[in-house]
Amino acid sequence: APDAEVVTLSRQGSTTDHGSVIAGGLQDNGGSLLLGDDTVMGSPFGGDGGDMLVDPRPGQGCNMLDEYVNLTLWLTNNCGRTDGTTHAIRDVSPGDVGARFIAPFTADTANPDHWLAGGRYAWTQNQGYAIQDGSAWTQAFDLGAGHGATATALQNGIGWVNWCGPCDNTGFTRGVATNAGGTWHQVDLTGVPNRYLSGVTIDPADATGMTAYLAVNGFRRAFTEGPGSGNGHLWRTTDGGAHWSDLSAALPDIPTSSFVINGSTWYLATDLGVLTSTNGGASWNRVSGFPYVTVMQLRKGADGNVYAATHGRGLWRVSAT
């Protein structure tokens, strides 16, 4: 994997290594792509590389959605290949002027053609990789003036969106919106630290989408610049955000960015690498052999393994346990 500022990745496609697709956003270095048995990554997208989606269905791995910046979304149905006379990439941006530099988006874990994206607004579309332009997006919810989405999750049509705004230290605020339990609304974050909410994950075992987890960035020391000196780096709700519980008792005071549940194992992206727990967060262990590096995002691949995008150390695969 390239040694670059990796923002995110998505490993999808075939359920075997032979036909799988590994793609990632590389900040200033565009998007990366590793097909099947390739040993050298290519780059189907240029410019700044943000988030990325790849069609998880077998044989459809050349359907990819890439982010440039500020929720500018580019789509290809042929892995970005062109013969010089036809366009391989089309712009399908929703047109949200309030989106953050790296804005989040995701596909429904139960329906790869249902997408959720976040800027000032939560956006949805149901055309999947057949989408032709930005008019297919629908504004599902207004996060509020000056607010910008920081993370998204979507499962069985239930969405969760984290946001901040202002996002600088002075006047920092954060929030979470969801349609779990009915219509879109802001949830109560009583007890959750006033820090940057880097990740949101819906429990794959909860078909109602009412059980979700927050990965909270920053440190909890009182002398840290800015707000958020309260405890907690991983939080859970089981009632759609009405109440939250802190699952951080066994964690070090270290920023967390992303959380994945894969079977009976929890995976947590931190500034010290990837941590795992097999007992619901009662204890944690670092993944052996993984570098001491900031992990920006975790994704579960179609092959059942977990993939990690790091800040400066490329893309990594963590074998499923």
**pLDDT tens track for 220-231:** 755 555 556 567
pLDDT digits (tens, 9 = 90+) for 131-152: 999 999 999 999 999 999 999 9
pLDDT digits (tens, 9 = 90+) for 1-41: 332 223 334 444 443 344 678 888 877 777 888 877 778 88
For residues 37 and 217, the model is more confident at 217
- Note every long-range contact of 146-149, with CB atoms under 8 Å and residues 24 or more positions apart, other chains counting: 146/98, 147/98, 147/120, 147/173, 147/175, 148/98, 148/99, 148/100, 148/103, 148/118, 148/119, 148/120, 149/99, 149/100, 149/103, 149/104, 149/117, 149/118, 149/119, 149/120, 149/122
C-alpha distance from residue 61 to each of 4, 115, 268, 290 (Å)? 23, 17, 26, 27
Q: DSSP characters for 42-88? A: EEEE-SSB--EEE--STT-TT-EEEE-STT-EEEESSTT---SSS-S
CA–CA separation, 252 and 232 (whole Å): 10
Q: Is the pLDDT of residue 318 over 50?
A: yes
Report whether the peptide linkage leading into residue 112 is cis, meaning its omega lies within 30 degrees of zero. Answer: no
What is the mean pLDDT of the segment spanning 177-197?
95
What is the mean pLDDT of the segment spanning 206-232?
79
What is the mean pLDDT of the segment spanning 245-253?
94
CA–CA separation, 299 and 68 (whole Å): 20
To which residue do tokens 């590096």 refer?
293
pLDDT of residue 305: 83
pLDDT band at 320 (very low <50, low <70, confident <90, very high): low
Question: Two tokens at 213?
Answer: 């987890």
pLDDT of residue 258: 96
pLDDT band at 100 (very low <50, low <70, confident <90, very high): very high
Question: Two tokens at 108?
Answer: 């429904």
pLDDT of residue 313: 80
Q: Is the pLDDT of residue 243 over 90?
A: yes
Q: Is the pLDDT of residue 108 over 50?
A: yes
Q: Is the pLDDT of residue 285 over 80?
A: yes
Which residues are within 8 A (CB) of 165 and not within 5 positions of it... i.e. 6 or more apart? 143, 144, 146, 147, 148, 173
For residues 130 and 82, the model is more confident at 130
CA–CA separation, 81 and 77 (whole Å): 9
Q: Is the pLDDT of residue 190 over 60?
A: yes
pLDDT of residue 228: 60
Amino acid in the structure at residue 242: A
pLDDT of residue 283: 97
On average, the pLDDT of the chain sits at: 87
CA–CA separation, 141 and 120 (whole Å): 9
pLDDT band at 98 (very low <50, low <70, confident <90, very high): very high
Q: State how beta strands 121-125 and 64-67 pair.
A: unpaired
Count of CA atoms in the C-beta half-sphere (13 A) of 80: 17
